[in-house]
Chain A
Amino acid sequence: MITVDKISKKYGKKTVLSDVSFTIPKGKIIGLAGENGSGKSTLLKIIAGLLHPTGGRVQLDGRRANRGSAEHIAYLPDLDLFYPYFTGEELFRYYDTQFVDFHYDKACIVAQFLNIPLDVKLKNMSKGSRGRVKMAATLGRDASYYLMDEPFSGFDPLVRENLIKGLIQFTDSETQTIFLSTHEIREVEPLLDSIIVLQKGKIVGQEEIENIREIYNQDTITWLKNLLKEGDKVGQ
């Protein structure tokens, strides 16, 4: 379980996150939604132990998250130019030296499922292929937690579908927890158990997907739009 407790983050005078608290139970896939600049990437980096919060704390299974947490967390960064001079195979070999939980064979199986060549340098691949190699490398790790920053953004619908299926195929819903930020709510909705919404650094909504449909009679995108509209009114 991930427990985020009153996290705040400031860069100088600018507040990026304020008083963010929530928990992510084991075995769930949780989406993090919000407009650009709402603090999603910062929050993911803090949970991954890559950034220090200004206040508050993050706990993983009751232990405080820090740089050492990277051992239990497979983090997928929102970077297009990801090890550009490596081929897919070299990237996997490198991951193998960096993470004890990385399985070269599993990464290759994921790569095959996602239909990507492993002998091409990443800089020479299409953006869609680079995104898929990045996903294969991340899923090659048998981590308890996967934190993914915009794993589906900027790809065409077929690549997106392929990535979503890969994620379902190669993670275990009983033991592994996935927290991912996304803009593609409409397409990603069936993948999620629940969703957390950030607006201007604060949590403005948190709900289970099936509850949104059952209780509010809306799909998640409609619910989300209304929520953000409300938030804008309050902010004015």
Chain B
Amino acid sequence: MSVDFLKDKPIYQQLVDRICGDIIRGSLKSGDRLPSVREYAVEAGVNANTMQRVYKELEQLDITETKRGQGTFVTENRERLAELREEMKLGLVESFIHNMESLGFTQREMIEVLQAKERGE
């Protein structure tokens, strides 16, 4: 299964987001081993250099840890993963607000829709 990429965002960034998404969703758990760079590159149909960059980025973000000779693992630092979840949440909400405001909707209108949804309307 190759990944379909959005047009206007670097491919490595989309793969970083994809792996972060898998962690937040729980399909990748704290302490899980990630596939090797080559395995993931083949699966996603991307250049191994790009995949290398993805893994480097994840490590710099302290989301993964590389153990010499064993591979790359999702960090066991649960605080960092909770933080990642917060970052992802805020990021998505901010881009939602940005999109809505660019069309002229107010935050008040957004809240009203969300509250109606919450009440199951």
Contact = CB atoms under 8 A, between A and B. Distances in A.
Interface in A173-218: 173, 189-193, 209-210, 213-214, 217-218
A155 to B, nearest CB: 14
B12 interface: yes
B28 to A, nearest CB: 21
B41 interface: yes
A132 interface: no
Contact of B45 (A168, A218, A222): A168
Interface in B31-65: 38, 41-42, 44-50, 52
B74 to A, nearest CB: 23
A117 interface: no
Contacts of B2: 161, 164-165, 190
A198 B46 CA distance: 24
Interface residues of B, number: 20
B66 to A, nearest CB: 17
Interface residues of A, number: 22
B5 interface: yes
Given A173-B52, A190-B2, A190-B3, A168 B11 contact: no
Contacts of B9: 213
B85 to A, nearest CB: 26
A132 to B, nearest CB: 16
Contacts of A169: 38, 42
Contacts of A190: 2-3, 5, 11, 44-47, 50
B7 interface: yes
A147 interface: no
Contacts of A173: 47-49, 52
B115 to A, nearest CB: 35
A219 interface: yes
B98 to A, nearest CB: 16
B120 interface: no
Nearest to A219: B7
A176 B41 CA distance: 16
A128 interface: no
Interface of B: 2-3, 5, 7-12, 38, 41-42, 44-50, 52
Interface of A: 27-29, 161, 164-165, 168-169, 173, 189-193, 209-210, 213-214, 217-219, 222
9 contacts: A173-B47, A190-B3, A190-B46, A190-B50, A191-B45, A193-B49, A210-B12, A218-B8, A219-B8
Given A29-B49, A168-B41, A173-B48, 14 more contacts: A161-B2, A168-B42, A169-B42, A173-B52, A189-B11, A190-B2, A190-B44, A190-B45, A190-B50, A193-B47, A210-B11, A213-B8, A219-B5, A219-B8
